[in-house]
Amino acid sequence: MNITKEQIDDLNAVVKVAITKEDYQDKVDTILKDYKKQANIPGFRKGQVPMGLIKKQYGKAVLVDEVNKLLQDNLNKYLTEEKLDVLGNPLPKQQDSFDWDQEELDFEFELGLAPSFEVPLKTKKAITHYKIVADKKMVTEQVERIQKQYGKLVSKDVVEKTNEVSGKFFNEAEEIDNQTLLELDKLKSKKAIDSLVGKKVGDTVTLKTKGLVKEDHLLGSILGISKEKSEKLNIEVSFTITEINEREPAELNQELFDKLFGKDAVTSEKELRQRIIDDSEKQFEQQADQKLLNDVTEYFIENTKFDLPSGFLTKWIQVTGEKELSEEEATEEYQKSEKGLRYQLIEGKVINENNLQVQFDELKEFAKGFIKSQMAQFGQLDPQEEELDNIAARVLGNQDEVKRLSEQLMSQKLLNLYKEKANLKTKEVTYENFIKEVNG
């Protein structure tokens, strides 16, 4: 067998593979002898079928199968030994009049080669790394939400602007018939609030759905319909009041603090506010880090210039899917995937050049940290190490979970690398202003 490479340009090459009978004949003969021993052909006893008949019936199929195995094994070996960084897989060149009976079988494969490029981590342009702080207004609002959530309900005879009103929405034409709870301070429509204020249990008011609530995505749930349907809705619905309550805020006392954080973990309103700041800013840090990772990714994609073997990749997309695409469909698919492919190459280069690897022990600790945070959300604040080890072992026994956690851990390693080496500028903002800047 002889394998050679013809370089077309920096991004494209053709590999030629020449296979002679000596490369496959012994293997083919051995398989055909086994066929002869097992063949059941009418008119012949088992094992007594003439080899000529065996070759006539099975010879070509066995030959093609063995040659394809040789091609696959030796082509992969050649690519590895020659350290060829290929994109996609080698594509066999079409040969219209191929003769399987010739002494030497010649095959050609097109290769798309990965481009050569550099990724300077010290970016020319400074990239903003946000530090999100919990401001006094946000903390006060969170304290008020806690007091409201843990407060007690006091029944009222007449609706006031601060009340919670239970009732039933109804509209026969739109099949709306839903018992729900309305908090008047979450209503957007002043007309709706005015029509409810002063009403009593048993009264029915007519409300317009458009602009009813401050957060439009909540409309579907209070009407008992899908979010998609609620987004298009602009009708009148009746609302019959069944209950009126005032939520009396909970006192900021030790009983409430213990309920929230465990016994004596917080002992004063000042400590409560600091705990809210600490917990909020820890969550904010995760959002700021994700924003940084996204921004560095976009910067690299926009500023790392290299060509791709687009013609080869378009052809590869065209012929390697579940069904063959037209040239126009393959071109469209390539254009959709090009940005992602560029970042895969950039990320791969950064990982290799900085020797970023995910070791099993690291992955196990990462998984345990993730499990611990999940358990904390359900009130298990101090799980035993043995329990964490057992859960982590089960999680890491699932290959999909291993893949997901490995990707998350690698993202964390990349983030730490960018924090260390990229050109960053820190900007301190409130969460409200961070959201405004992220959304443009």
Q: What tens digit of pLDDT does each residue of 219-243 get?
A: 999 999 999 999 889 999 999 999 9
Is the pLDDT confidence value at 13 over 90? yes
Amino acid, single-letter form, for residue 339: K
Percent of the chain with pLDDT over 70: 99
Per-residue pLDDT at 47: 78
DSSP secondary structure code for residue 187 in this structure: B
Is residue 440 helix, strand or coil? coil
Is the entire prediction scored with pTM above 0.75? no
Residue with tokens 């919990």: 134
Per-residue pLDDT at 196: 96
Q: Residues 6 or more apart from 252 whose CB is under 8 A from it?
A: 143, 147, 269, 272
Check residues 381 and 351 and name the one with the higher pLDDT. Answer: 351
Compute how many other C-beta atoms are within 10 angstroms of the C-beta atom of residue 107. Answer: 20
Percent of the chain with pLDDT over 90: 75
* φ and ψ of 432, to 5 deg: -60, -45
Q: Where are the alpha helices (DSSP H) in 224-326?
A: 227-232, 254-261, 269-303, 310-320
Q: Rounded to an integer, what distance in angstroms lies between the CA atom of residue 422 and that of residue 418?
A: 5
Q: Rounded to an integer, what distance in angstroms lies between the CA atom of residue 88 and that of residue 82?
A: 17
Residue with tokens 């390693």: 413
Is the pLDDT confidence value at 381 over 70? no
pLDDT tens sequence across 287-338: 999 999 999 999 999 999 999 999 999 999 998 888 888 999 999 999 999 9
Q: Residues 6 or more apart from 22 whose CB is under 8 A from it?
A: none
Per-residue pLDDT at 406: 94
Handedness of CA 141, 146, 149, 153 (dihedral sign): negative
Strand partners, 205: 239
Radius of gyration of the chain (CA): 34
Residue 154 in contact with residue 246, Cβ under 8 Å?
yes
Q: Rounded to an integer, what distance in angstroms lies between the CA atom of residue 196 and that of residue 159?
A: 7
Per-residue pLDDT at 222: 93
The DSSP code sequence of 158-173 is S--TT-EEEEEEEETT
If you average pLDDT over residues 102-118, what whole number do you get? Answer: 93
Confidence band, pLDDT 50/70/90 cuts, at residue 100: confident
Per-residue pLDDT at 204: 96
Check residues 384 and 269 and name the one with the higher pLDDT. Answer: 269
Q: Rounded to an integer, what distance in angstroms lies between the CA atom of residue 33 and that of residue 152?
A: 87
Is residue 89 helix, strand or coil? strand
The candidate with the shortest Cα–Cα distance to 219, out of 190, 247, 175, 178, is: 178
